[in-house]
Structure 1
Amino acid sequence: MNVVAQSEVGRETYLGISNTEYLLFYLLVVITIAVFAFGVYQRFSRYAAGDDDPFDRLNDLSSRIVSATKTVLSNEKNFNRDLYGGLMHSFILWGFLTLLIATTILAVEQYGTELLFGIVFWEGDFYLAYQFIVDAMGLLFVVGIGMAMYRRYWVRNHRLWGRHTSLEDDIFIWTLFVLGVGGFLLEGARIYVTGMPEHEVVSFVGYAIALVFQAIGVPTTGAAGNPSDYVALAHAGFNAETIHWLVWWKHSLVALFFIAWIPYAKPFHMLSSFANVVVRDEKAGKRLPNVPADLDATNAESIDDFTWSELLDQDACTKCGRCSSVCPAKASDRPLDPRNVILDLKKYREELDNGGDEKAIVADGGTSVINTETMESCMACMACMDACPVEIEHLQSFTRLNRQMTDQGDIAPSMQDVFQNVMQNGNTFGDSPRSRGDWADDLEFDVSDAREEDVEYLWYVGDFPSYDERNKQVARSLATILKEADVSFGILFDDEKYDGNDIRRVGEEFLYVELAGHHVETWEDCEFEKIVCTDPHSYNTFKNEYPEVDFEEFADDPMMPFEIEEQWNEDGEIEVLHWTQAVEELVTEGTLELSGTELDYTVTYHDPCHLGRYNDEYEAPRELIKATGCTLDEMPRNRANAFCCGGGGGGLWMDFEEEPKPSEERIREALEDTDAGADIEKFVVACPMCMTMYEDGRKTGGYEDEIEIVDVAELIVEAIGAEEEANLEVAAD
């Protein structure tokens, strides 16, 4: 083999590239950068054309960037529920970033330190360390791409395929594969034509490829030290120099294509996803944007009604399908796929930007971007947002669509009845407000009226514990627990109205504001220390949403029956608790002693969405269950991964043709997928809506003889031996 050996620890950057080719390459680089910059400008100018966001997403920007960098580099959300996917994406991301940094280091030396100051650091020990790290991380990159291709094409993971799967997905993954493998092939050819210097052993992947060239006897011309001869000889026939020259240009052109393509297709998520994590709202979903009092304001009449952050959400979507895979509506065959809604909006926006025809954003029939039945299917459980690795705030866009449906009158008749009941009677049942406190008549003690005397806990009972027979038993249990703890508590009786949480998520914003104003005015006339809620939905809206309402904006509206003008509890001076949090505090303090005979049940517990995913409260209910002596056997999907009961987002009041119902699937999970399996005796809930949904699912799923649905409060009352005092008589089936 006749070669010009390389002896110094380092290497030539443009080995075998003539001056003409060098100039051509950098002309292409300039064009590539210009195309890339123009594409990025177009993207961000489109965001600037979006509506203003109601939340400050650029405050404390430096901290946001640091936090986003940690989230992205750690890939923490990619590992959620999917170890394989987490490792795959981590290998690709870390490898890609390492190769990008390596290229940047090379450019900094060649056009910075060496050109300006004559300082060269890309040699000796630095070069050896650099080459080893690049090979190691580059190998991880290729392995990650291989894992992605295996999952996409061999396993055909269902998450990755849908109506928005397109050629750009294939181009993206194959371009990365060609770049990764081509880079190693180029390195191997370079090592081979330069005489396989000993120090290049640190480039272990490239060196292995060079050994393959050597083993199969690829001829070499010995022109590695003379670029002009190299080029001439490279064209003379098949040899190592020809291979190196061809691979160098192939690799360069593919890399330049990829860079230029980034702003125009799927690779843009590498920028938009990071930006989306930077500007995320930490309270997304648990609080919703307010609407202006101006009745001329629109919600989703056109794509221009969407805020810049919602447009960024659309571009940040990577089509990974994690949101779809955890969506209980999709699992129940309702016509909702969270990914498709986001991508349908994006596709429509891009069609308009390219001269397409306008159409309704959301409406009945097939001519709109989104069908009303699709949005009615959403349970507002936030599972999609919790699963999304790039912090897309689905619920904010979904609520905008729901508000538009409400404005248009495209609401299911059952929901219209609920709205009417709330407007006329202050509750979703349509029952008389005067009977709201009747559930307490069967207690052996009187419940205080918080409007007339000072109390420690102002207890917001809620609609279902006040009017639904099954949930009245839970209300009496909780009243008994608070009485047993000897704490002062009171309720508002007929001045209590529906909290507004779920009708707000269905789109009825102004009725929600009216309810909020009524409650805040009522509370201001009461003396109490804390607000305690039976329902996690009430807990969330009082804690996270009432303080956001700008009542002053509605002060002059004659349709709003309140006079309050200032925001309520803006600084959080009034503590709002779910009852399990309040009672867990009482148990911890020793105020409430579970002194009765320990219960000997094997139970499982369902995390309510509004208590768990919305507000990160997972332990208080579990501590109370354990305090009763019950053996708690967790379901596979628990805490943040819990599966919704199906009642949120108005689902409680709608009829869907679904199989199985979310509640039936959850009970099946309890009886079949827990360690105890069929030995589970009680399915424990901490939410009145969950109680209602699971009692229904127990009947429709044929589980009436297999499991009992109970609330945590009912377990506690039984544990303290106060069943008779609570007057808890299990309703006849």
Structure 2
Amino acid sequence: MSLGVVRLLAALLLVGYAFALFGIVVYRRWMYIRLGKPMERRQGKTKTGIEGKQEFMKQVFGQSKLFKDWRSGCMHVVLFYGFIIVQFGALDLIVKGLAGRGIPWFEAAWFTFTQEVTVGLVLLAILYAAFRRYVEKLQRLKRDFKPSLVVFFIGFLMLSVVFALGFERLHQGMEGSWSAPLSSGLASLFQGISLSGSAVGFEIVWWIHLLILLLFLVYVPQSKHFHILVAPINIWLRRQGSPGRLRTLDLEDENAETFGVDQIEQFSQKQLLDLYACVECGRCTNVCPASNTGKWLSPMHLIVKLRDHLTEKGAAMTSTSPWVPAFALSQGGVHRVDPGVVVQDEFRESKTLVTTIQPTMAAHKEAWRSDEAVAVDSVQLIGDVITEEEIWACTTCRNCEDQCPVDNEHVDKIIDLRRHLVLMQGSMPHDGQRAMQNIERQSNPWGMSRMDRVKWAEEYAAKWIEQGDLLEEQAPQARERGEDPVSLIDLTRRNEIQANRLKRERTERYRVPTVQEHPNFEYLFFVGSMGSYDLRSRKITEALVRLMQEAGVNFAILGNEERNSGDTPRRMGNEMLFQQLCMENVATFEKYGVRKIVTACPHTYNTLKNEYPDFGFTGEVWHHTELLAALIDSGALTPKHEVKERVTYHDSCYLGRYNGTYEAPRRILRAVSGVTLLEMERTRENGMCCGAGGGRMWMEETAGKRVNVARTEQALAVSPTMIGSACPYCLTMLSDGTKQQGVDEQVQTKDVAEILAFAVFGE
């Protein structure tokens, strides 16, 4: 039997064995994913047809999300396309080793040049990847042995290509060529090697190249690099509707044994697919407000821990080994969190540190341990894998999902865990539980009387009527002094009409009608609990009402018939209370024929717009910044007074990332003369959360630095005189932040509606 035949048989056996192992690994992990609940059809508005395919191509082949960090993006694009291009050369190299000559199509000079340039670029990209991880030491990147393996695999694979081509040139006596700069240069270094020596060198490097390729093939699906195969599928199956719509639980299902998730197999198959798609790039943790302020939650570790638990439990449930071949890759033991590990608090006394994820990253590295004495059946998903502290630390801002290059959905998993805690165990932080009880009893988180929901409207009308009376009394004296008193009343008309008539007109002008009193309204102003009860937020409500009255908007309110929107209960896992409130509000909308709604709260806006349709509401929903921007564009509102302020605008998560509204608030601010609009370092889709979402508004922060303080520091870094917002939750958190920083007298916090009211009406 000739040497060539032996080489061929040995190579075929190796390739066959490697592909068999690869197939076994992929199939077993698919078995683990199949343990989850069947994927549901995504309802709501979706991207379909050409638009959906374009988005898929943009993310997979354009690497669009990776370019949110342009340096990593460039590096990854080189690796992504470089690896694909080099595989053609690898195929040609394997054929050369087996058949003695390469593929005829690949003998052209342009192909050789393309291969060698690509190899050089990939080597540079690998060096840069190692530099970022081990020299620059980006906090979001892990630095243990496993992440380094792919660097060695790809690096040595590229070197094996260069050495193989170099020895080939020596053996065949090829001269240096412009089309082969790397292999020609290498060949010149080994000019003294004999023909037999170059042949042996080629043989050794050829086998090394083949072994690296096959080892990489087997290793990939058993590591984080499984994302190479899974990520495109995950992106194809991504959520295409609004991220603001949570899955609705069927609470009437008599066959349901549990609600929410407390076993890994209770997640959907798409949610489990997420786990194997994770790249462990740390981008999610890098932007997470909880991770950045010393809380236990790290979105990357949430996914990784769930993935490890799925692999271990899936192996037990299917009686298979997750590691193939087991003798070489078996990791042994079962992972769970060491409850004795804590996140080191480096934030409490800090006055200069803005954000850092280092304490959270270090704690997770130490806490996630494998124990060979523990049986996987004894490991509890909630408690041993994901702690309650992590579950309740989430602000549901979805910045993690916006940054994720493979479209993982972190927040929905956390909400499912919360749902089980609340609906099945009755477990919730005490202050959050108090807010839930108050909403259930009085339809607001403070427990104030539901019959006082409309009180703000009465006080608003009384205030402006009283101010009108005062101006009327002062007008004659002002005229004698040759002054023109600032008034909302046309002074000419006031001279012509009797005082009682004026008072009736003022009463009518400033009265906020209810839907019962004004059934022919166009817009329902859904005030919300913050806008109705919170004294600071009521100023936003009054500014918006005054602007709508000035513009002649035909609107009405529900008054005491309005209920809490249900956003807070739903994000805190109380699906039952949410559905009750939602159905009550929808019934009221149907009763009065509501077709358009405007609200000043992004949380309410998101719930009404994206979640109420599941319960029968089909109306149009506007955020107040969208309506005000439209009124300015139409000329119904004219900002004629100058507001000389340096304003930095904070993007609300539920208005921005959830619903894509970034420009409307900025259009309003740009329309105000005198305003200098400043952008923070983290802005728009990467804007940091204020810390109030996901029910965190009603729960005290006891660990690390307060999220609102961290965000306030980011705002103050651009030296504003005013911080603008378009959310009552955000405004409350930022106002508290300026007070805690001791700058509340120098830096005001205002809603965009309040700033516009200044510009339209003056001080």
Aligning the two structures, in what range does the TM-score lie when normalised by the shorter sequence?
0.7 to 0.9
Summarize deviations over 1:297-342 as a string: whole Å, max 9, x none.
3321211101111111111111110000100111111111111111
Map 1:11-26; keep pairs closer than 5 Å: 18-26=4-12
Partner of 1:399: 415
Q: Aligned letter for 1:390?
A: V
C-alpha separation in 1, matches of 2:546 and 2:578: 31
Map 1:271-310; keep pairs closer than 5 Å: 271-283=229-241, 285-293=243-251, 294=253, 296-310=257-271
- Does residue 266 (structure 1) correspond to residue 266 (structure 2)? The answer is no
Q: Residues 382 and 494 (structure 1 numbering): CA distance in 2 closer, same or farther, change over 3 Å?
A: same
Partner of 1:151: 132
C-alpha separation in 2, matches of 1:489 and 1:717: 18
- Does residue 635 (structure 1) correspond to residue 658 (structure 2)? The answer is no
Q: Aligned letter for 1:276?
A: N
Partner secondary structure for residue 709 of structure 1: strand
C-alpha separation in 1, matches of 2:601 and 2:417: 26
Q: Which moved more, 1:174-183 or 1:663-672?
A: 663-672
- Does residue 447 (structure 1) correspond to residue 496 (structure 2)? The answer is no
Partner secondary structure for residue 122 of structure 1: helix
Partner of 1:559: none
Q: Residues 527 and 722 (structure 1 numbering): CA distance in 2 closer, same or farther, change over 3 Å?
A: farther
Q: Is contact 2:106–2:112 with CA below 8 Å preserved after alignment?
A: no
Partner secondary structure for residue 158 of structure 1: coil
- Does residue 140 (structure 1) correspond to residue 121 (structure 2)? The answer is yes
Q: Aligned letter for 1:462?
A: G
Query: Which residue, 56, 67, 89 being the options, matches 1:68?
Result: 56
Partner secondary structure for residue 753 of structure 2: helix
Partner of 2:483: none
Q: Residues 498 and 722 (structure 1 numbering): CA distance in 2 closer, same or farther, change over 3 Å?
A: farther
Summarize deviations over 1:381-423 as a string: whole Å, max 9, x none.
0110111111111011111111112121220011111111111
Q: Aligned letter for 1:568?
A: F
Q: Aligned letter for 1:191?
A: R
C-alpha separation in 2, matches of 1:488 and 1:108: 77
- Aligned pairs, how many? 647
Query: Which residue, 580, 588, 593 being the options, matches 1:522?
Result: 588
Q: Aligned letter for 2:404?
A: C
Map 1:463-482; keep pairs closer than 5 Å: 463-482=529-548
1:87 Cα shift?
1.3
Partner secondary structure for residue 159 of structure 1: coil
Partner of 1:228: none
Q: Is contact 2:246–2:611 with CA below 8 Å preserved after alignment?
A: yes
- Does residue 499 (structure 1) correspond to residue 543 (structure 2)? The answer is no
1:719 Cα shift?
0.8
- Give the structure-2-normalised TM-score: 0.81
Summarize deviations over 1:553-601 as a string: whole Å, max 9, x none.
xxxxxxxxxxxxxx332xxxx2211010011111111122223x22111
Partner of 1:568: 617
Partner of 1:607: 651
- Does residue 191 (structure 1) correspond to residue 158 (structure 2)? The answer is no
Partner secondary structure for residue 202 of structure 1: coil
1:173 Cα shift?
2.0
Q: Is contact 1:426–1:497 with CA below 8 Å preserved after alignment?
A: yes
Partner of 2:499: none
Summarize deviations over 1:198-241 as a string: whole Å, max 9, x none.
6x531222222222223xx3x122xxxxxxxxxxx5xxxxx222
Partner of 2:39: 53
Q: Any stretches of 5+ residues in structure 2 without a counterpart?
A: 317-374, 465-509
Q: Aligned letter for 2:714?
A: E
Partner of 1:431: 448
C-alpha separation in 1, matches of 2:610 and 2:393: 24
C-alpha separation in 2, matches of 1:598 and 1:62: 47
Partner of 2:370: none
Q: Residues 517 and 361 (structure 1 numbering): CA distance in 2 closer, same or farther, change over 3 Å?
A: farther
Q: Is contact 2:169–2:184 with CA below 8 Å preserved after alignment?
A: yes
1:502 Cα shift?
2.5
Partner of 1:462: 528
Map 1:573-652; keep pairs closer than 5 Å: 574-595=619-640, 597-629=641-673, 630-652=675-697
Q: Residues 299 and 241 (structure 1 numbering): CA distance in 2 closer, same or farther, change over 3 Å?
A: same
Partner of 1:419: 436
Partner of 1:537: 603
Q: Is contact 1:317–1:392 with CA below 8 Å preserved after alignment?
A: yes
Query: Which residue, 52, 72, 76 being the options, matches 1:89?
Result: 76
Q: Residues 521 and 528 (structure 1 numbering): CA distance in 2 closer, same or farther, change over 3 Å?
A: closer
Q: Aligned letter for 2:71?
A: Y
Partner of 2:737: 697
Partner secondary structure for residue 524 of structure 2: strand
Q: Aligned letter for 2:166?
A: G
Map 1:92-107; keep pairs closer than 5 Å: 92-103=79-90
- Does residue 220 (structure 1) correspond to residue 260 (structure 2)? The answer is no
Partner secondary structure for residue 349 of structure 1: helix
Partner of 2:489: none
C-alpha separation in 2, matches of 1:66 and 1:21: 45
Q: Residues 59 and 76 (structure 1 numbering): CA distance in 2 closer, same or farther, change over 3 Å?
A: closer
Partner secondary structure for residue 742 of structure 2: coil
Q: Which moved more, 1:583-592 or 1:42-51?
A: 42-51
- Does residue 211 (structure 1) correspond to residue 188 (structure 2)? The answer is yes
1:54 Cα shift?
2.9
Identity between Structure 1 and Structure 2 (%): 31
Q: Residues 462 and 101 (structure 1 numbering): CA distance in 2 closer, same or farther, change over 3 Å?
A: farther
Partner secondary structure for residue 664 of structure 1: helix
Summarize deviations over 1:6-26 as a string: whole Å, max 9, x none.
xxxxxxxxxx97221122111
1:671 Cα shift?
2.1
C-alpha separation in 2, matches of 1:123 and 1:618: 50
Q: Which moved more, 1:328-337 or 1:435-444?
A: 435-444
Q: Aligned letter for 1:608?
A: S
C-alpha separation in 2, matches of 1:606 and 1:641: 11
Q: Residues 56 and 203 (structure 1 numbering): CA distance in 2 closer, same or farther, change over 3 Å?
A: farther
Q: Which moved more, 1:173-182 or 1:323-332?
A: 173-182
C-alpha separation in 1, matches of 2:134 and 2:587: 60
- Give the structure-1-normalised TM-score: 0.84
Partner of 1:370: 386
Summarize deviations over 1:175-194 as a string: whole Å, max 9, x none.
11111122112111111221
Partner of 1:557: none
